[in-house]
Structure 1
Amino acid sequence: MIPGRSAIAPKGILSRLRSVMAADATAETRLQLVTNIVATDMVAEVCSIYIMRAGEVLELFATKGLKLDAVHLTRLRVGEGVVGAIAASGRPMNLSEAKDHPSYVYRPETGEEDYHSMMGVPLLRMGRVLGVLVIQNKTQRHYTEEEVETLQTVAMIIGELVGSGELINKEETLPTDGIAMLPLRLEGSALNAGIGMGAAILHEARVVITRFVAEDPETELERLRNALSEMHGALDDMLQSSESLDDEHRDILETYRMFAEDAGWLGRIREAIKTGLTAEAAVQKVHDDTEARMAQVQDPYLRERVNDLQDLANRLLQHLVGVEKLSPEDIPEHAVLVAKNMGPAELLDYDRTRLRALVLEEGSATSHVAIIARALDIPVVGQVKSALSRIEAGDPIVVDGNNGQIFIRPGEDVLSAFKNSVKARIRQRAAYAALRDKPAVTKDGVVVSLNVNAGLLVDLEHLKEVGADGVGLYRTEIPFMARSDIPGVEAQVSLYQKIMDEAGGKPVVFRTLDAGGDKVLPYWDNHGEENPAMGWRAIRVTLDRPYLLRQQLRGLIRACGGRELNVMFPMVAEVAEFVQARRLLDMEIERESIKGHRLPSRVNVGVMLEVPSLMFQLDSLLEKIDFLSVGSNDLFQFLYAVDRGNPRISGRYDTLSPPMLNALKAVVDKCNKAGVTLSLCGEMGGRPLDAMVLVGLGFRKLSMSASSIGPVKMMIRSLTLSELENFLHTQAGKSRHSLRPVLRQFAKDRDIAL
């Protein structure tokens, strides 16, 4: 701070900004007045405002101190210059010598060569950077934290006014590419399968703030208290009305409800009010600050929790300014919801009987809203860039949740094709449903056991619907990921008992905690591994933290008292790891016996074969286990050293290639010789052609998603296994890249249902 300068009073600068907002002047004049006020109050020789234009270009819109001829002439790309660096990071920058910064660029038309110190903050609105607010001084000074905070408060208000068109003309705002009436196709990530068609509803939970500067902070604090009380009551009502959701999904809403009472979040809002902001402006400022900080965090779970906070901020704003919710009659009968992102409670605000699909600009498979959408069987496509700027309310949309595509204003040919696809899918489902109670048996009498993969209680409902023989893989990590802390033993016992009850006596194979890699738990550090798929994950985590595994095994043993327990250890790379895990299981069985708890009637212990190194110890392993399950996804990935998430190479190799099939055949032969039950759980088992080959290799138990049971069962019932075995024998030793084409032709020639 300049010597002799008193502390900046945010209330003073805010009150002068309020007078500018009330002035009867053009947008350009208002913007210029803002720079004058900020420069004067911040004791800066320069104050400049840059606005984001099309193509991620920052244009100088107003300045006090630089040459006025530079206005609308000086432009910087995002990432170019200090101003561009601020826009790229979304964070403030405080420099005593701007020229020393590596991003510094000199623009002679501005006349800024005389200035040394510089502070800039982004203009944020709805998590987007709309521009940059900058002050400069000739002296080399380091601006204080208080000055940075004050400039951020001013920037928040300017960002709101710029976004609403108060400070710049509407025609000067960012053009929206792709509006008009032309058809448009956008790509994203498939977060929940299915096809949905309907009219677009734009989820604009954003509340327009019209009052920024408070007249009486105590009055604003009282308004905040009242709004919080109303919001908490509304959230409690929502929890009571969501009794149809199972415990895991209610846990998500309970965790969300706890966010609403976070002391740190509420404390920052109260402090912002004390600086002179209204309650609603304080709520928005605190959220913008949080979102800007979290933009730098890579952890997907933590990033998704920001969406929950955005949801809460919007709800609190609605209670503060009295915004009414969208009424049911305003929602078309067939609606597609489009949002940047949303919290789980926001999705439940809509009439779920009318929602046909959900489109998100952000979102991930682990986001709470995606988990709830899956429970409601709503197709979801996420990571759709610029969806809100390219879609208008009422636009007809087709959402292809199977392939991660959305079609906006589709032509009649596209619409007709999807309608036919939906009709064909309905007919197929009817045909699959007719097979529900029939066995998966080949024409020559070979029975194959078809099981489902599950990870939530809601998945167990499909067990009866599709006529599966049991649960071949229950992913126990998903309930762990849905909670904000580690579930205790009793919570796990309750969950596993419900799973066994829902299975109705059919076998369930519980895979122990397979966290790490792309499955991040919120309550431990991921350490930012460069190659997480091959890093600290699955059994490596639970052997390093045995209390996690012991608690889980204890919960499984108690839950299966009097019933058969099937437990499987994932990502085992050597027999020694299995021996160590089995020792922990035996310790827990002995512990439960001493305590007098009822033990399972039988305990079957197995291993997932995912790491190729274990194939070279199979003989030793098979002596110690009751069953083996091939995890085809990871085994294929590691066998070929191919990152399945890398689009440049993910399709380069094929599961029906000779190396993969030779490896699987070797496993079949060893298990048959040792008398050990063998199964496969992975995407390979759920694709009819791949499943056909697996049966031909000798697999008699497959586990897959519930939706794949029908197609695979239909394939098996149309197959003569002896013909396939003979054909595969003729292909042994072939050096083709893949056997897929010849196998598809084999199936076509024999009318095998694929």
Structure 2
Amino acid sequence: MLNMLRDITQAVARANSLESALNILVSQTRIAMATHCCSIYILEQHNLVLSATEGLEKSAVGRVSMPLTEGLVGLVAQREEAINLADARIHPRFKLFPEAVEEDYRAFLAVPIIFQKLVVGVIVVQQPEARQFSENEEAFLMTLAAQLAVVIKSLKHKATITNVQQQVVFNGVTASSGIAIAHGLVLGGTISLEQPELHCVDIDSELLRLKQAMQRCSDMLSAISQRFEREKSGDVASIFTAFQLLLDESSLGGEYAREVALGWQPESAVSRVSLRYIEQFLAMEDPYLKERASDIRELGQKVLRQLIEPGRLEVDPDKPVILVANEVDATLLAEFPRQKLAGIVTERGGVNAHAAILARALGVPAIVGTDDVLSTDIDKKLLVLNATRGQLLVSPSPAVVEEYQLLLDADVEKQKQFSAELSLPSVTTDGQRIQLYLNAGLLSGIASEIAEGADGIGLYRTEIPFMLHQRFPSESEQIDVYKRVLSAAGERPVVMRTLDVGGDKPLPYFPIKEDNPFLGWRGIRLSLDHPELFLVQLRAMLQAGGRGNQLQILLPMVSNLDEIDQTLAYLEQAFTELNQELNTILVRPKVGVMLEVPALLYQLQDVAKRVDFVSVGSNDLTQYLLAVDRNNPSVSSLFDSYHPGILRALQLAVDECHQYDLDVSVCGELAGEPYGALLLVAMGYRKLSMNQASLARINYIVRRVSQQDLSELLKIVLRQSNGQQVRTLLGQFMQTHDLADLINP
């Protein structure tokens, strides 16, 4: 049975269209289960439509349709569970569709196909004799449906995109609010197999170029295969191993080389061979063999990518663009010319991934989790990104573009309104002063205006300069960067966080491979394991701070008191060494810890004896309290900073810090959100650190509310049972105070 499941799953996964995938599915499932009939119904606008069958009348495909309230198939979708009947005819929900010619069938087994809690369709097997399908047969069909749910959902989505010349809407998850209108720049999109047929002059050099491209392709496939083997996913690994075999001289790899030897450029050779074999396989009658055409297509595109886009792309477009990619890493985002980046759209990634946080810091509209956007040819097409609604519009009509341009203009006016008060102190209507700080660290050189309107820099992410280097930056290089940061802030305080890599922030020259990186070797753990690197950073910070009181040092990912003690010992070592080397007396900076690991929440009395302040990292604290990997699209919807449990933890943190006379601030994303800032002020937080794009808006809102009103609101909020109820209450509060239009453009 396991081999059958694997064969069916792989065959369907390789299909390049929904129709061919469903035909393969019903054909091979009917054979595997030795039944007379197998059919699949796909949910389309609240109706289940017969989409493929082996055993019913073929002409009924697309014609038989039923709402969820009708028929046994509808009942399966309604209940979201399997139905196994010895004789379907005697069930009260049995409904006969004459056009399907299913009068002869009695035994009935159907299971729902569910993707992320939503029914995608129903798969049914039937037999003429009245009998109950066995538990093994039922388990087989349920396992098959579960394995194929994501594939069918993906192919179903692709099938809805028929002509990109007409307006097409892709839906994603908002990572950074805002609107952008620009042409698309696709990185890592599908490369067309239809390459120009061009002859080459130097056959030997072109053969070498082809060989190098195939080797890079083989190395990549090998790495992927090994990763899946390590993860005990041998079935998936075998797919990539099969691709490697196709690169052999005795297979397609040899065919590519022979075409180059005949005088064709490598791109043309790969195209010619691929298209020739695809045509041959598509002409075959056997559904399984026919689907091998998709293997040839995929391999051809992999080799072409190594020929056309070897290594990292150098990106500097002429005009602002909306960057479309499978995933955007923080390094690419930091290196991309800011004035040329209008928006970001990715297929993968979570709203609290590091790249998404950087997008918000840049004030760039961004959506993530945009299914199948790369499967459509949208490179250089006009796009409208409505990140506030999580939508990407491809080839919009002139009327739609005009409407969004009006929204953009209105938002610009709104920002001017906010900015007009940025120089005024952030004080509630009843006189409570709230200090607003900046989260910074995007560039190695920070312009002096970065601290304009802020009370200081509440979080300088030192990992960003590390990520932009090809090696660990030297002590003198770090001193130079840190001095510029301190200078940019004027006389205002600057909180510098020590190196915080790992999780979703890898260094290209210091790869960390872990099964669960968010619970692994990151933050202060890594620094303490490499004192030779940690001491260099501490020395650089101390020298940059010099004899002033501006610098404060923040320790990330602290999970126990020993880590604080070890860090303070290293800081004392660096301090003593520098005073001797420089023959001067440096100022000992304040030291704080990030409250991210929940365990530390219950040790704040002991923390207060060791450090000067606490900075709450709401992103990771939320992630760890809810046991949700914020980068995992399967569970990222469960990541909710407004979960009442999270809010109660934040209330406990500020109460404990006040009790033990420990200075406290919040530097996570929650502080830069209008709803989040209001709740934090209500709880008693007086220092909020946020991205520059949020600063003016939060200042504007805080100046229009009272601490007293917020305190009353908080009492009700903390009694709610879920995050949506909390948001509803906050929305009503904003409406009552004429602030609702400040949330979304």
TM-score of Structure 1 vs Structure 2, range by shorter chain = 0.5 to 0.7
The correspondence for 2:673, drawn from 687, 692, 711, is 687
- Counterpart for residue 45 of structure 1: none
The correspondence for 2:481, drawn from 484, 495, 513, is 495
Distance 1:211 1:281 in 2: 14
Distance 2:497 2:419 in 1: 29
Contact (CA 8 Å) 1:463, 1:706: kept in 2 or not? no
Shift of 1:730: 5.7
Contact (CA 8 Å) 1:553, 1:585: kept in 2 or not? yes
State the identity %: 31
**Cα 1:683/1:676, change in 2 over 3 Å:** same
Shift of 1:638: 1.6
Residue 168 of structure 2 corresponds to residue 184 of structure 1 = yes
Residue 664 of structure 2 corresponds to residue 678 of structure 1 = yes
Residue 503 of structure 2 corresponds to residue 517 of structure 1 = yes
- SS of structure 1 residue aligned to 2:496: strand
Distance 1:389 1:56 in 2: 13
Contact (CA 8 Å) 2:320, 2:340: kept in 1 or not? no
Shift of 1:665: 2.1
- Counterpart for residue 355 of structure 1: 320
Distance 1:663 1:408 in 2: 42
- Counterpart for residue 181 of structure 2: 197
The correspondence for 1:210, drawn from 198, 220, 236, is 198
The correspondence for 1:556, drawn from 535, 541, 561, is 541
Equivalence map 1:103-182=2 (5 Å): 178-179=162-163, 181-182=165-166
Residue 336 of structure 2 corresponds to residue 372 of structure 1 = yes
Equivalence map 1:13-162=2 (5 Å): 54-55=16-17
- Counterpart for residue 314 of structure 2: 346
- Counterpart for residue 695 of structure 2: 709
The correspondence for 1:659, drawn from 642, 645, 660, is 645
Shift of 1:475: 1.2
**Cα 1:648/1:283, change in 2 over 3 Å:** closer
Distance 1:714 1:406 in 2: 30
- Counterpart for residue 236 of structure 2: none
Residue 458 of structure 2 corresponds to residue 472 of structure 1 = yes
Shift of 1:734: 5.8
Contact (CA 8 Å) 2:322, 2:383: kept in 1 or not? no
Residue 531 of structure 2 corresponds to residue 546 of structure 1 = yes
The amino acid across from 1:545 in the alignment is: H
**Cα 1:293/1:449, change in 2 over 3 Å:** same
Contact (CA 8 Å) 1:176, 1:389: kept in 2 or not? no
The amino acid across from 1:484 in the alignment is: Q
Distance 1:393 1:620 in 2: 56
Distance 1:486 1:356 in 2: 32
The amino acid across from 1:556 in the alignment is: M
**Cα 1:553/1:201, change in 2 over 3 Å:** closer
1:43-78 Cα distance to aligned partner (Å, 9 max, x none): xxxxxxxxx98439999xxxxxxxxxxxxx9xx99x
Distance 2:694 2:226 in 1: 37
- Counterpart for residue 732 of structure 2: 745
- SS of structure 2 residue aligned to 1:595: helix
Shift of 1:200: 5.1
Shift of 1:469: 1.4
1:233-273 Cα distance to aligned partner (Å, 9 max, x none): xxxxxxxxxxxxxxxxxxxxxxxxxxxxxxxxxxxxxxxxx
The amino acid across from 2:568 in the alignment is: R
Distance 2:186 2:729 in 1: 48
- SS of structure 2 residue aligned to 1:501: helix
1:554-595 Cα distance to aligned partner (Å, 9 max, x none): 111111112332001111112221111111111110111111
- Counterpart for residue 11 of structure 1: none
Residue 707 of structure 2 corresponds to residue 721 of structure 1 = yes
Cα-Cα RMSD = 4.1
Distance 2:499 2:379 in 1: 43
Shift of 1:476: 1.1
Shift of 1:376: 4.8
Contact (CA 8 Å) 1:195, 1:357: kept in 2 or not? no
Distance 1:190 1:182 in 2: 24
Distance 2:226 2:387 in 1: 28
Distance 1:546 1:560 in 2: 20
The amino acid across from 1:606 in the alignment is: G
The amino acid across from 1:346 in the alignment is: E
Distance 1:441 1:343 in 2: 51
With the length of structure 2 as denominator, give the TM-score of the two structures: 0.59
**Cα 1:464/1:436, change in 2 over 3 Å:** farther
The correspondence for 1:639, drawn from 612, 625, 630, is 625
**Cα 1:392/1:739, change in 2 over 3 Å:** closer
Distance 1:287 1:532 in 2: 27
Aligned residues: 497
The correspondence for 1:382, drawn from 343, 346, 356, is 346
- SS of structure 1 residue aligned to 2:315: helix
The amino acid across from 1:356 in the alignment is: V
Distance 1:499 1:696 in 2: 31
Unaligned stretches of 5+ in structure 2? 1-13, 29-157, 229-263, 268-304, 348-369
- Counterpart for residue 411 of structure 2: 425
Q: Greater shift after overlay, 605-614 or 198-207?
A: 198-207
- Counterpart for residue 442 of structure 1: 428
Shift of 1:344: 6.6
1:90-110 Cα distance to aligned partner (Å, 9 max, x none): xxxxxxxxxxxxxxxxxxxxx
- Counterpart for residue 243 of structure 1: none
Distance 1:720 1:475 in 2: 32
Shift of 1:388: 6.1
1:293-316 Cα distance to aligned partner (Å, 9 max, x none): 4555769xxxxxxxxxxxxxxxxx
Q: Greater shift after overlay, 442-451 or 201-210?
A: 201-210
1:636-657 Cα distance to aligned partner (Å, 9 max, x none): 1222223323445434464334
- Counterpart for residue 330 of structure 1: none
- Counterpart for residue 596 of structure 2: 610
The correspondence for 2:577, drawn from 568, 587, 591, is 591
- Counterpart for residue 83 of structure 2: none
Distance 1:282 1:463 in 2: 51
The correspondence for 2:555, drawn from 569, 574, 580, is 569
Unaligned stretches of 5+ in structure 1? 1-51, 60-72, 78-173, 221-276, 300-319, 324-338
Shift of 1:705: 1.1
- Counterpart for residue 151 of structure 2: none
**Cα 1:379/1:359, change in 2 over 3 Å:** same
- SS of structure 1 residue aligned to 2:433: coil
1:436-461 Cα distance to aligned partner (Å, 9 max, x none): 21111111111111111112237844
